Structure 1
Amino acid sequence: MLFIYSIVLGIVQGITEFLPVSSSGHLVLLHNILNFDFEQNLAFDTALHLGTGFALVLFFWNDIKKYVITFFKFISGSKSVVKSEIDFVFKLIVATIPAVVLGLLFETIIETKLRSEWVVVSTLIIVAVIFLLVEKYSKPKKGMEELTFFKAILIGVAQAFALIPGVSRSGITIVAGMSSKLKRSEAARFAFLLGIPVILGAGFYQIFKLDFSTLESTMIRIFVIGFLASFISGLLVIKFLMKYLTTHKLNVFAWYRIGLAIILILYFLMR
């Protein structure tokens, strides 16, 4: 049964990490609803997040390779560096800093105080309202080359709020990009590339903190199965969402979040 739960949670992670409905929020809730409790719940969630992190790497591999080469050309003093490309690299770097700093500063609070059902319900609704407001009032029209460093930092600050379960890292960074006048598809691309160092960094940081001597071989196999399930499902969802956002708004995800929050409130009150 644990292996089935691992696959289910891996698929849920792969879908909800990239759809703007909050992966961490769904995982917290599923652990409670299914009464699925590992001694290493947070470590298992880390394995699932690493799966989606590597899905991002594979999907955006050509972009990553291009920007890494550009960065090393720049630091080596090469004259062939394309200005728009190196600017984009540094925008990603400065936008990554807020989530890293705040994640390290508030790690204990996030892992203990904020991984609760009512926090998830609250953030599901609050962020849904933000989606609806941004879709109604923002006028996205700019390309990535017009994103300023200041606005890149603001998008990074928005990403830091996704450390709170229920917010949705992809969702909050996409609407932050749209608020900076980026086209929806461009905002999604920036959000996904921005998520790679944060997702992988947080995942490997948690791995280094694990006491592997306490993990049985069965538990390790469960982690691997969950990782693969989240990787495969995540890859499929990235491809879908990048195409979807070129012609569709975020409203459907906002109403999903509100509907889910209502269902969860009723469930928590009646159990």
Structure 2
Amino acid sequence: MPFIEAIILGLVQGLTEFLPISSSAHLRILGELLPSATDPGATFTAITQIGTEAAVLVYFRKKIARIISRWFQALTGKVPHSDPDARMGWIVIIGTIPIGVAGFLLQDTIRTFNRNLWLIAIVLIVFGIILGLADHFARRTREFDDVTYPSGLTMGIAQALALVPGVSRSGATTTAGRLLGYKRAAAAEYSFLLAVPAVFASGLYELVHALTEPDDGPYGLPETAVATVVAFVVGLAVIAYLMKFLQTRSFLPFVIYRVALGAVLLVLLSTGVLQAF
């Protein structure tokens, strides 16, 4: 049964990581509905996110390789620091700092209070509404290559909010991107690239934590590994779908889904069907 549950959770992780609906919230909620009826835990969530970020590496492999290559060449003076790809490398690094600092300082809170289902329900609704307003009223003129250092840092600060389950990493960063005037696909693309260093760092940290404290959480490393592989395969397909979707469609379906899910969760908590912890 643990392996079946892990596969289901990996599937959900892959489906929800890149959509602005919060993968961590879905794993937390689903954990209560599965036969084991328990929170998968921050460790399981962080490690399975390695799978979805590996999907980012594969999908954007040419762009990421070019950015890394140009960034190193700029360090040695082979290309100017103004080179767009070298500059993007620095923007991603700077944008990663907020979530790195917040994650380090708030790691105990992330493991406890942030797993509260009441908090997740409210956050799903509130940030869903914010995403909807930003997407509807924002300008739509700036492309991916127009991302500046201030914009990258602002979206990085927004990404740090994703430490709270229910916010959504992609949802927070794309909301900030839309408010700054970036087109939907441009905001989403930067969001995906920005998440790579943060998620891999978090996932590797939690992997070490799981190896040193194997009893933390309901799933062991074998189950977590299976879920991570499933998340990778599904996540790769979702990225391809979402990038095409955002070329012509808005975030409205995701906004409606977030608000509806949050409302249902509030009802289930109020009636005692689900417990907050």
TM-score by length of 2: 0.92
Conservation of the 8 A alpha-carbon contact between 2:144 and 2:189: no
- The residue aligned with 1:5 is 5
Conservation of the 8 A alpha-carbon contact between 1:30 and 1:36: no
- The residue aligned with 1:222 is 223
Conservation of the 8 A alpha-carbon contact between 1:120 and 1:166: yes
Q: Which amino acid aligns with 2:236?
A: L
Q: Which amino acid aligns with 1:46?
A: A
TM-score by length of 1: 0.94
* Structure 1 segments unaligned to the other structure (5+ residues): none
- The residue aligned with 1:19 is 19
- The residue aligned with 1:247 is 248
Conservation of the 8 A alpha-carbon contact between 1:174 and 1:187: yes
Distance 1:176 1:214 in 2: 37
Q: Deviations over 1:219-271 (max 9, x none)?
A: 33212211111111111101100110111100110000011111111222222
Distance 1:108 1:226 in 2: 24
Distance 2:213 2:148 in 1: 47
Q: Deviations over 1:14-49 (max 9, x none)?
A: 011111100000111111222536797333223311
Q: Which amino acid aligns with 1:11?
A: L
- The residue aligned with 1:209 is 209
Q: 1:39 to 1:214 in 2, by over 3 A?
A: farther
Number of aligned residue pairs: 270
Q: 1:64 offset after TM fit, Å?
A: 1.1
Deviating above 6 A after TM superposition, structure 1's stretches of 4 or more consecutive aligned residues are none
Conservation of the 8 A alpha-carbon contact between 2:20 and 2:169: yes
Q: Deviations over 1:107-141 (max 9, x none)?
A: 11111111110111011001111111112210121
- The residue aligned with 1:113 is 113
- The residue aligned with 1:161 is 161
Conservation of the 8 A alpha-carbon contact between 2:55 and 2:235: yes
* Structure 2 segments unaligned to the other structure (5+ residues): none
Q: 1:70 offset after TM fit, Å?
A: 0.3
Q: 1:128 to 1:71 in 2, by over 3 A?
A: same
- The residue aligned with 2:91 is 91
Aligned-residue identity in percent: 32
